[in-house]
Amino acid sequence: MPVKEYIPIVTILILSGIIIGQNIAFMTDGFGFIRNVEQPYNLTKHYIGTPYPRVTEDMISVSKIKACIDGNYEWASFTDTGSMFPTFDYGHFVIQKTVDEDTKLYVGDIVTYKLEDNMIIHRVIKIKNDSRGLYYTVKGDNIKQPDPFKVRHDMIERVVVAVIY
């Protein structure tokens, strides 16, 4: 696993855990250190939309010892790519719902799709049709360019319904 480099925080403005400098952006790691984010991280420019609400309040139960979501869900962890930073990163987990041919996806949804032997988790930023039918343009929240190919519905295996930090 690659070693992460951190820089101690001196004096800088902190807004909701995100530190924004003039030409550089950082995210706190929770231990008083900052992590370099792709330059520059602009919250307004990167905002695409929020995921579609797939879990309703009546599906959630929380007690002193556990939290439950009714339904057929799976959890996933991540490799240390940083592509979805700051939404989630290595050490975080997501709860995902399986996608079938009837599942409607929306701009803003975070999906896991299969590309060769890899599972990639990125956000839907556009939905379009071409001569082969429906396709999605996806990208990581911390990547400037979208993935360089059309993601077809049958490539998508799951959609994120919750992030556990």
Q: Between the CA of residue 11 and those of 14, 21, 98, 111, 147, what are the distances in Å?
A: 9, 11, 44, 37, 36
Task: Determine which helix (DSSP H) or strand (DSSP E) holds 34, and give its type and residue range.
Answer: strand 33-36
The whole-number pLDDT of residue 3 equals 46
Among the residues of 47-157, which ranges form H helices?
none
* Structure letter (DSSP) for residue 22: S
The whole-number pLDDT of residue 47 equals 56
CB atoms within 10 A of CB 27: 19
The whole-number pLDDT of residue 119 equals 92
* Exposure of 7 in the CB half-sphere (CA atoms within 13 A): 11
3-state secondary structure of 73: strand
Among the residues of the chain, which ranges form H helices?
43-46
Mean pLDDT by 10 residues, the chain (165 residues): 42 35 40 45 57 90 92 85 88 92 95 93 96 96 93 96 90
pTM of the model: 0.70
The CATH H-level superfamily of 48-164 is Umud Fragment, subunit A (2.10.109.10)
Q: Where are the beta strands (DSSP E) in 64-165?
A: 67-69, 73-76, 93-98, 110-115, 118-130, 133-139, 151-152, 156-164
The whole-number pLDDT of residue 14 equals 34
Q: Are 106 and 52 in contact (CB under 8 A)?
A: yes
Could you tell me the residue ranges of all domains in the chain?
Answer: 7-45, 48-164
The whole-number pLDDT of residue 150 equals 97
